[in-house]
Amino acid sequence: MAITNKALKARVRRGIEILNKALGLEWRQQVDLDDLDMSRGTYVGGGCGCVLAQLDWRLNVEPDREGWEEGSYSHMANDVLGLREDDGAQDEEILAGFYTNKSSDYRKLTEFWKAELS
User: How many whole angstroms separate alpha carbon 90 and alpha carbon 32?
Assistant: 25
Question: With pLDDT > 90 as the criterion, what percentage of the chain qualifies?
Answer: 40
Q: pLDDT tens across 89-104, in order?
A: 566 677 788 888 788 8
More confident residue, 24 or 42: 24
pLDDT at 86: 55
- For residues 96 and 20, the answer to whether their CB atoms sit within 8 Å is no
| Residues forming a β-bridge with 36 | 49
| Residues forming a β-bridge with 71 | 43
Q: State the pTM of this model.
A: 0.84
End-to-end CA distance of the chain: 30
Read off the pLDDT of each residue in 29-58 and give the average, rounded to a whole number.
87
pLDDT at 70: 76
- For residues 51 and 113, the answer to whether their CB atoms sit within 8 Å is yes
